[in-house]
Structure 1
């Protein structure tokens, strides 16, 4: 379907819940396997341990050595006695003979866990008395308290808690016993756990709380226990998991009306969207829950009916994606705000959704209710890195998915009021009748392009870069994005960064295309100023990963804006010089590379203070200098060049120079460019109002001129990186910078990322520490206000006219930024730097509430 990706049938959270159910189902099957042993394979003593009818037989045969003997499945005599339901006296005999109370079988079960599963409280008390570890993790990280919660044995759960069981201990997916009790619907266990102080809002591995699991069940009593809570804590009815699902989302997806009413009565927010943009009504419609949809609309209004998720689908689209409930579709169409032919952001209608998923009856119903088959959705054809828009009708969607019956229906459909089509009728003249079916070549091309890309990459990538997913050791998460997550990890003992792509991603771009392009670019790079490529996992899209050198210092963004570190001017110029050298390397390769996403997030810092350019997910090779098929708006909006933001498809490496100039300003000022604006508003200011960040009086003058030419509105006026490297280097080696940084001129030490502080005197005589080159708006404001005050007292009126001091707006920006340029430049600049036609820098427009 071009670049259209249908909404995933289940979310990551749903996938986890499925795995949990499967995990505990497997757990049960393994326990049952233990409880039904093959006695024919046992020796005489083992059979005696299982024989509860003749207790003397075991005592006659038992020796200390027998207590440690195991069956082929790893069962000891103590395991066997617990499985058989032996009396406590027999367990005590075995324990006194030296039987190990905490040994695990091959299926990872301790004797205590088997007794807990069977619900034998007497056995449990004996085992606990003889030192059984109540917190021992067995199969899937499950502890004894988890098993009691799963089976609903609240009396055994109380014994375990009294014996020191950790009430909030997590299993393999960080589910506590409270999670499990809510999942399996055991009210008494939930009540017991809450009364013993279990964390009511404890988070699982994807941020899911017990109330999320309870919401997907129809147990009102458990919901009441959680929401009404205890005197110390109560469950939040609007708490979100990592995907933004609230309890109401789970309730509507599962279709439990009683739970729905209870949550709404307790101030659950009805129109909240998850990270996919789905409201509870979306999920009800995706799962065909008619009664839930009716109650939601009746009690909470029609706001959700017109909300689109990130897949450009309203609840009507969602109902047609489900397609099995015509009553639900009919109900939605009866609502005043619903239009059967409403087109989402990508242009597709509910008819497109029904055609894509092959729902013949739903398609026919929509057609009979005036669904327009001629409306088109827009999809990108990304062949050859282009993004030409291809318009696709609902018929084309059905055709490419292979739904022949729907294709036939659409091809020959005519409305009841229309005359039949004759042999000489103009094709398409009667609202879609006898529409020509697109060539199957397009379908084949769409289906095979991504496979071809991967196969070609496997064939061309050097063998040394091929890695297996089993070669990777994943550690903590160090970053994330639309592609997936970045982990710190190891490969063959080497510390690396692992960029793991999601198994399925549903964005506007082809993740396979981006992955292949990034690997192809990284494999060709060899410079100390760009990230070092280690290898990639190419076997299967579900295992796609890119492995690079691990840079310990983190990103420049983190250093400046999260850690709020102050960097001396010498170190700032070291970073700027390294980035410029990295970009110069990329732009002057045999096949030049345009980065397209240069910003402080993608500049990594070594512990020595040197910088590395990273993240080539948006980058591409430039096969000619006159390409007119470039991607629209790749990269981060805050650092985006004006020609890219204005939807241009023809731009060059000079766009990277614009982004670099904003990064350079960010380094010098210690602030985000246009920090008072959201990213899209900042990009609009630079593109449509020619606004640039303010120039501080503390900025080195050569760099001020460099900023002006670097962020020039006309890309042709911007310099190349090879032209600016000598300027930054000379500035870095200058006497003034050395003095400010407390280093010897012309030396090149590896400086720590710290700033020597200079003590100034306030007007009240007290000392204050200020960074000499920080450039913060607050510091700039204080400095300018002080100078302005002095100027108003001591300066002549003529001087004030000729050299007015900068006035600041309420955000601390300079109203007359050109006033900082009146000092002569001590270092040489390229010819265009001195050009008088550089754009003036206007102050940012004031917005009460900037839009994103």
Structure 2
């Protein structure tokens, strides 16, 4: 059965039949907010039907990881150690939960693992019946086990015992960008902190795109950007990451997966994935940072439900953009710099993938936008980067 028109509760998205095999269907997962879109195929790793070669390969890889650490600095933990670290998965230690499972705050020391350096950790226990199955668990272990960068969350280890699938990360004490932007916890993020967070996330993406084998993150959103005590930002959750096109390839054709509102329109409509699909998602996050609103918000007037559809046309109008910027950061930025950031956001959100900058270019621009003095103090001194701002008609090299 094919659902060609899916009602997502926050708007509608049409998926043309050409990207769906006759034996596939689109399953729409309503997951708090925003909404998850997941294309389910018969080769689902948790419930194999028909051709099970992919499923068998996943099982084989998991069997290997049970016995031998995949990477030298990644630990294998026993389920009992995970229970001890989370005080038997105590409810008050839950940091977050969703369709993927539950994330607990944990503590690992010599009582858990003799000789282990004491540290706070975040332990993600994947829901075996949820959206993230063995394939996504493997993706996290493989990508974060190999990759090391200041703006990617560090994988400490994993548990793969019986049916249990757990991932152990460094603990990011300040939580998610989403929490600070939308849940009104403590004082609001200053302009300087917002620009630093945006730069950190851009550096993480640029690192992935510039790897020897390019990696497309595929699920950039404010809830996947974690913050430490100093508000340094790191990308987390690599379950949907995928190797990008190589050589003469222009794109990778893949199942449509991600989060509604953040996914690039050409990817949703065709299943064609490129590094510029991530650039679009970054543009959505940058828009949320600027305006202080969720990408999808049904509590707003109907024309403002979809943040991108409502705000993007305003980004090219200087007077209009100043009126819709987050009022909590009023007076913390120069008008000139705000316009430049709005222009960058506009380009990242281009409907034409070739009209979007590369993440390496985004990093250059954001580095120029950084304040030379923290605007929390009230002093606003911004770098000048006129030569780095791309006009709407600027063409970019392909990636």
- Alignment partner, residue 638 of structure 1: 261
Verify the 8 A CA contact 2:304 2:310 in the aligned structure 1: no
- What SS is found at the alignment partner of 1:523? helix
Quick one: which of 483, 489, 492 aligns to 2:100? 483
Higher relative contact order (CA 8 A, sep 6+): 2
The 5-angstrom pairing of residues 791-830 of structure 1 reads 827-830=385-388
Change (3 A) 1:707 1:623: closer
Residues of 2 paired with 1:573 and 1:560: CA distance? 13
> Are 2:372 and 1:742 aligned?
no
Quick one: which of 505, 508, 525 aligns to 2:129? 505
Verify the 8 A CA contact 2:100 2:130 in the aligned structure 1: no
Change (3 A) 1:600 1:703: same
Residues of 1 paired with 2:55 and 2:206: CA distance? 38
Residues of 2 paired with 1:525 and 1:446: CA distance? 24
> Are 2:62 and 1:454 aligned?
yes
> Are 2:140 and 1:523 aligned?
no
Verify the 8 A CA contact 1:498 1:546 in the aligned structure 2: yes
Change (3 A) 1:628 1:724: closer
> Are 2:201 and 1:584 aligned?
no
Quick one: which of 349, 352, 373 aligns to 1:714? 352
- Structure 1: stretches of 5+ with no match in the other structure: 1-343, 348-377, 384-391, 401-441, 748-825, 839-852
- Alignment partner, residue 78 of structure 2: 468
Residues of 2 paired with 1:667 and 1:653: CA distance? 21
Verify the 8 A CA contact 2:156 2:169 in the aligned structure 1: yes
- Alignment partner, residue 563 of structure 1: 184
- What SS is found at the alignment partner of 1:380? coil
> Are 2:272 and 1:650 aligned?
yes
Residues of 1 paired with 2:385 and 2:72: CA distance? 48
Residues of 1 paired with 2:313 and 2:64: CA distance? 45
The offset of 1:740, in angstroms, is 7.4
The offset of 1:692, in angstroms, is 2.6
The offset of 1:562, in angstroms, is 0.9
Verify the 8 A CA contact 2:294 2:307 in the aligned structure 1: no
Residues of 2 paired with 1:732 and 1:463: CA distance? 37
- Alignment partner, residue 544 of structure 1: 165
- What SS is found at the alignment partner of 2:258? coil
Verify the 8 A CA contact 1:575 1:611 in the aligned structure 2: yes
Show CA shifts across 1:339-377 (max 9, x none). Answer: xxxxx9959xxxxxxxxxxxxxxxxxxxxxxxxxxxxxx
Verify the 8 A CA contact 2:350 2:356 in the aligned structure 1: yes
Change (3 A) 1:550 1:739: closer
- What SS is found at the alignment partner of 1:665? helix
Change (3 A) 1:478 1:605: same
Residues of 2 paired with 1:643 and 1:546: CA distance? 32
Verify the 8 A CA contact 2:227 2:234 in the aligned structure 1: yes
Quick one: which of 654, 670, 692 aligns to 2:312? 692
> Are 2:361 and 1:723 aligned?
yes
Show CA shifts across 1:372-403 (max 9, x none). Answer: xxxxxx843369xxxxxxxx9xxxx7xx7xxx
Residues of 1 paired with 2:310 and 2:242: CA distance? 27
Residues of 1 paired with 2:145 and 2:267: CA distance? 27
Residues of 2 paired with 1:467 and 1:573: CA distance? 37
- Alignment partner, residue 601 of structure 1: 223
Structure with more of its chain in strand, by fraction: 2
Change (3 A) 1:480 1:682: farther
- What SS is found at the alignment partner of 1:462? coil
Change (3 A) 1:345 1:494: same
The 5-angstrom pairing of residues 91-110 of structure 1 reads none
- What SS is found at the alignment partner of 1:663? helix
> Are 2:395 and 1:835 aligned?
no
- Aligned residues: CA RMSD: 3.4
Residues of 2 paired with 1:451 and 1:739: CA distance? 52
Verify the 8 A CA contact 2:280 2:349 in the aligned structure 1: yes
Residues of 2 paired with 1:829 and 1:619: CA distance? 33
Residues of 1 paired with 2:205 and 2:130: CA distance? 31
Residues of 1 paired with 2:190 and 2:388: CA distance? 26
Residues of 2 paired with 1:462 and 1:683: CA distance? 44
TM-score (norm 2): 0.70
Change (3 A) 1:506 1:346: farther
> Are 2:250 and 1:626 aligned?
yes
- Alignment partner, residue 413 of structure 1: none
Residues of 1 paired with 2:344 and 2:72: CA distance? 43
The 5-angstrom pairing of residues 150-169 of structure 1 reads none
Verify the 8 A CA contact 1:642 1:683 in the aligned structure 2: no
Change (3 A) 1:345 1:501: same
TM-score (norm 1): 0.34
Change (3 A) 1:584 1:702: same
Show CA shifts across 1:434-459 (max 9, x none). Answer: xxxxxxxx46x366333213134455
User: What is the count of residue pairs matched by the alignment?
Assistant: 318
Change (3 A) 1:830 1:381: farther
Residues of 1 paired with 2:304 and 2:273: CA distance? 20
Change (3 A) 1:745 1:380: same
Larger Rg: 1
Verify the 8 A CA contact 1:570 1:732 in the aligned structure 2: yes
- Alignment partner, residue 221 of structure 1: none
The offset of 1:591, in angstroms, is 1.9
Residues of 2 paired with 1:522 and 1:534: CA distance? 9
Structure with more of its chain in helix, by fraction: 1
Residues of 2 paired with 1:517 and 1:586: CA distance? 14
Residues of 1 paired with 2:237 and 2:104: CA distance? 14
